[in-house]
Structure 1
């Protein structure tokens, strides 16, 4: 049992002062407000719930910074994807596990308590299936087990290179499955995640480019309890190709053909009409936003103001994992809206804190997208992050939150997942061991890249 005392804590109904949290058996067993610290309490300035990172491709952490060299012509998502394919073809299972563990250490040090791993690096380097079809999925599970981060595993079904069932290209050979092969992979993934406490297994049809309507329907009939995530409308070319194939834009096609519910998370959904935006919100599908990656790839700007006014929910993910940070993602999300609307404090309620609105929305929506629980409340998972303000300025509540997100005014200090402290003084307890293995693996991969 662990007891934490905080000068301030963000509870589901708002900020509270002088709060004691008791963590027991992976859960929050008691919360007291307006009480002094007792002997043996861990003392902290600010306590928050951890946040879910709802969209990650772990292997891409290894190529962070390697695609920032301009080519002979203008660069785009599609030229970046070519570099990504080259990198994806190089690594073996042990190397991917090492990269994933490094990434998950960084996520925990940033205050993320759970990851939604959109996992599509399935096969051996020549494209043949491993004897154990879930070999690579098991490596993701092992990296989560080693680092202590919560996991919602989303095995990806990827069968085609373009709309209408186009034949996959050579660079995609490690991703490709038919329905029978994917069903076997999903069964193996479920067995692997069953060894992790509070884990969830869903599915991820990669995109409407990569699955046919018949395959999308068949995937939903498979046995799984978790959510359904799909990339959609990230690029203008994707929208144009979808219209040429079906006569409809991607999100409109999903709304008309896939019976979207709150079980679905639409990743990116960048290029939508206002009608699509409102209909998506009304359907309950969660927007999986990846602001840093979307900016890095030049994707565009999500129609957040319309979506949120229509009652939509959102969460954030680090996607390509070029940079890991809660404040970084939320700040980029708000700044993208400011540039688009040429206004300030776009994603906030009248008279309210922008940072608080963003943080609360991402905690609630991110957990829902990964079918996990969230919040500092009795009975909820003991997933807690402490902040340490850089300076004792006497700030309280939303002022601390706004400073954390927009001014680097506070640092992540400690992180508990399931009541186990994984991060102390900003450093994961396995940081050195994991980093040493990561460095060795990256040197091997760079020599062959």
Structure 2
């Protein structure tokens, strides 16, 4: 270190084995950047520089705090592109497929979010679970209640997280206690956009639950909101389950496909992300690619609800943006490591193969790209927001034993995604500061 330099209190660094992506490894053999003994320098919550520790340590002013994580891997914070925070308390509820799941578990659970105190308690727990699992950015559903959106944005803001959410829109085919109207849904969403979108790291998503629970009038107004507010997101569900697809065809005989229902209402485009997308044809996939609309691949919930197998290969071939989603609570884990594990198995069943590099790319830069946030998060390029996770390959006896036998980085990453869970997350940092484990109160 330079002994004559003045300490910059806005400056810090973290040392360890650094892994991040500068491109998609499915298309670029040099996409993964790896520093076996690396240093990540953070200034004012953003990446200042990343590279070999031997070179960068000499640049640090004397007294710069350096967190030493040698023996562990440092990666960009995980990006969860589809999750339901109100379903935290129904994770691991037995049985049912999609439509029955909604009636039996989801709607009763979401009713409780009319109570702002309940919403605030669940939102705090939810955000802590994300951080405990190394997830620093998420696109999350709230409920129809505006207070549920306020609660989640407030919890995320306190933790300095980058978070996307919005009020669910439902004005038909749902219980009366969760039903809004086309007009009230529009007005409440507009007020929430004005209150929250663009504050700190918070972003609003227009959120029609899915086509069957919104009238054509509400769907058109959702599209109008999306168009009227540049920079907002739109999130919904698409072609998850065969019964759901058949139901949409009955409700919308005028549409060519399920996707076409959304397109007719102005709901495709940049920053629109649809979960599942299992039962699509190539015409739909090409339309998503052409409009810049993204898919959230949710393997654990697709398996849990028996919905089907996502075709990642075809989505990639046709140029669709794809990220990973835990889809809690039909998804069975907040862990993106476990979600990668299930993604590998889904693709094996579909006759496809997912490399460890591609899996970790989907969970970091790929997820950021799918959400049009890759200019701000997803890797350690200079100027990016300094969100990162520290993974311990010796977190459990089995992980330690198996990792010790690995000969390559790719093999070690694969072991982490197959055997790892929240126990493998040694630390999570948000904007360069420790976010998990929580620092003790002063």
Whether TM exceeds 0.5 here: the answer is yes
* 1:182 equivalenced with 2:183 (yes/no): no
Q: In 2 relative to 1, CA 385–241 (structure 1 residues): closer, same or farther, beyond 3 Å? A: same
Q: How does 1:331-342 map to 2 (within 5 A)?
A: 331-341=341-351
Indicate if the aligned counterparts of 1:105 and 1:428 stay in contact, CA closer than 8 A.
Answer: no
2:112 equivalent in structure 1: 90
Secondary structure at the aligned position of 2:166 is classed as strand
Query: Distance in 2 between the 1:25 and 1:209 partners?
Result: 45
2:86 to 59, 77, 89: 59
1:230 equivalent in structure 2: 236
- TM-score, structure 2 normalization: 0.81
Query: Distance in 1 between the 2:310 and 2:34 partners?
Result: 33
Query: Distance in 1 between the 2:86 and 2:292 partners?
Result: 30
1:15 equivalent in structure 2: 33
Q: In 2 relative to 1, CA 272–11 (structure 1 residues): closer, same or farther, beyond 3 Å? A: closer
Q: In 2 relative to 1, CA 414–79 (structure 1 residues): closer, same or farther, beyond 3 Å? A: same
* 1:382 equivalenced with 2:386 (yes/no): yes
Q: In 2 relative to 1, CA 244–178 (structure 1 residues): closer, same or farther, beyond 3 Å? A: closer
Indicate if the aligned counterparts of 2:182 and 2:218 stay in contact, CA closer than 8 A.
Answer: no
State the Cα distance separating 1:150 from its structure 2 match.
2.0
Indicate if the aligned counterparts of 2:294 and 2:371 stay in contact, CA closer than 8 A.
Answer: no
Query: Distance in 1 between the 2:343 and 2:252 partners?
Result: 31
Query: Distance in 2 between the 1:32 and 1:216 partners?
Result: 48
* 1:364 equivalenced with 2:356 (yes/no): no
1:153 equivalent in structure 2: 165
State the Cα distance separating 1:140 from its structure 2 match.
1.0
Indicate if the aligned counterparts of 2:45 and 2:386 stay in contact, CA closer than 8 A.
Answer: yes
Query: Distance in 1 between the 2:204 and 2:283 partners?
Result: 32
- TM-score, structure 1 normalization: 0.80
Gaps of 5+ in 1: 123-133, 162-167, 349-353, 433-449
2:424 to 411, 429, 436: 411
Query: Distance in 2 between the 1:216 and 1:155 partners?
Result: 14
Query: Distance in 1 between the 2:412 and 2:130 partners?
Result: 21
* 1:206 equivalenced with 2:209 (yes/no): yes
2:283 to 275, 279, 298: 275
Aligned residues: 393
1:400 to 396, 406, 412: 412
State the Cα distance separating 1:193 from its structure 2 match.
5.1
Indicate if the aligned counterparts of 1:26 and 1:382 stay in contact, CA closer than 8 A.
Answer: yes
Indicate if the aligned counterparts of 1:26 and 1:381 stay in contact, CA closer than 8 A.
Answer: yes
Secondary structure at the aligned position of 1:35 is classed as helix
Q: In 2 relative to 1, CA 274–178 (structure 1 residues): closer, same or farther, beyond 3 Å? A: closer
Secondary structure at the aligned position of 1:300 is classed as coil
1:439 equivalent in structure 2: none
Query: Distance in 2 between the 1:120 and 1:174 partners?
Result: 8
Indicate if the aligned counterparts of 1:15 and 1:397 stay in contact, CA closer than 8 A.
Answer: no
C-alpha distance after superposition, 1:151-189 (max 9, x if no partner): 11233222221xxxxxx433xx23524334432343235
Of residues 51-60 and 219-228 in structure 1, the stretch that sits farther from structure 2 once superposed is 219-228
C-alpha distance after superposition, 1:173-225 (max 9, x if no partner): 23524334432343235414555x22211212221112344433332333432
Query: Distance in 1 between the 2:325 and 2:348 partners?
Result: 20
State the Cα distance separating 1:306 from its structure 2 match.
1.2
Query: Distance in 1 between the 2:138 and 2:194 partners?
Result: 16
